[in-house]
Structure formats: structure tokens, C-alpha cells
Amino acid sequence: MPHILHIDASARPGFAGKDNHGSHSRNLSHRFVSQWQSRRAQDSITYRDIGQNPPSIIDHDWIAAAFTPEEKQEPWMADVLAESDELTGELIAADILVIGTPLYNFGMPAALKAWIDQVVRMGRTVDVDESNPLDPYVAKLADRPRHAVILTARGGVGFNPGGEMAHMNHLEPNLATALEFIGITRFHYIAIEGQEVGGQLLAESVADAMQQVDTLVDELQATFAEAPHLETV
């Protein structure tokens, strides 16, 4: 059975249309998960709200510990890396990574960057093959097919590929670069635009994104049904 890791990165705790100043990206990610569960209740889900409970920012001690071979680590290093161990463990266990995130100032929220920094980790999600100096990095999460569902919300419009503002969108490209580096290569993108514009433009964008989410759930569930060997147990 596939396992889902569901992450919300919005600083807004509520849901747009329901709560004052609620989050559109949370609406998308929770729509995906609820639709998935309604059809495959047997599948497991881990939820982490990093928007409300941000991961720690890496510091000097974290870097020293993470880049020290396990057999040479001092006792204090295990404590420093405990949070990273938990976060990477959740990611390693996942077959589908669902990230609901807003676009903040043309990039990802600080909490999501902190999560990326915790999970892109030598020895856990990436290794180095010193015998191949031209391409030394080995993505450890390439051991099986994994999907990343990136569900975003933007205040402006035109940030999709080919749009007028696409060159200023550093959220999805940054996420893709980091996740591909550790072995996640199957990406699915859905976005709501026009929150700052509001009105009919926003309403149509929300409706279209929700429909895209439902369609994507159908497609991914069909993928796992057609290739049961991809499912983990």
C-alpha cells in the first residue's frame, strides 16, 4: 500500500473560504488527501504542519554532526540530528509527498526551506561516490518510484511556465532541484493564482485547481493499481 507524507507550509493556520485569512494551499493539500482517503482508506498518511511548527534552522552543530561519519560521531551529535532523523525517516517511508505551500516573495516559505535543509542530508538521503568525481552524488531515494505533488497558492498571476511572471517563480524550480537531488523525480504541479486580485479570477482559479486535484488523485491511484509492485507494505 502506498504511504503519503502530507506537509503544509502556509503560515496561515485556517482554510480559505472558511476561516478569516485562511490558506488556499491548505485547501488544495487537504482536498488531495481527503479525496485519496475516500477511495483508498487503507493507505497510510503522515501529516506534518511545518507552517505552524517550523523545523529547526540548521546551525554549526548540525553541520558538524551531519558531515561526521556515524562511526566517528560524538554522543552529542545524535541529539543534534534527532529532528533530522525523524524528518528524513518520514520522507524515506513515503511513496507520495504532498506539499501544500504558498509562494512568498517569489520563493518558498522559510519553514519549507528549513524542512528541505533537514531532509537533504548526507548519508540519509544522498551519498557521495568518490570513485566518480564528475558526478559523485548518489540519490538514495531513487530506490523506488516516488511522486511529489506540489500544490501552491500565489497572490499574483502569470507564474506558471510560459507566464509573464514565470521567471520570478523560484518556488517550484527550487523544490524540484532539491527533491531530484535526493531521488524524487516524478512531479505534479497544481496552483491557485490571483489571491490578491480576488473576484471572479480567483474563484475560477480555485475551481480549476480543485478539479485538477481530483483528476490527479484519479491518475495516481490508477498508476498504483496498475503497478501494484510499486506499492510498499
76 is written with which cell numbers?
552529542
**Residue 10 assigned as binding residue:** yes
Residue 177, H or E segment: helix 172-182
Of 10, 34, 35, the closest CA to residue 24 belongs to: 10
End-to-end CA distance of the chain: 5
Say how many C-beta atoms besides its own lie within 10 A of residue 137's C-beta.
13
What is d(CA 18, CA 16) in angstroms, rounded to the nearest whole number? 5
Query: Is 56 annotated as a binding-site member?
Result: no
Query: Of 20, 183, 171, nearest to 100 (Cα)?
Result: 171
24 known ligand binder: yes
- The answer to whether 23 is annotated as binding is yes
The conformation of residue 55, written as its DSSP 8-state character, comes to: P
Residue 25: which of 56, 59, 50 has the closest Cα? 50
Q: Which residues carry a binding-site annotation? A: 10, 23-25
List, as residue ranges, the binding site for FMN.
10, 23-25
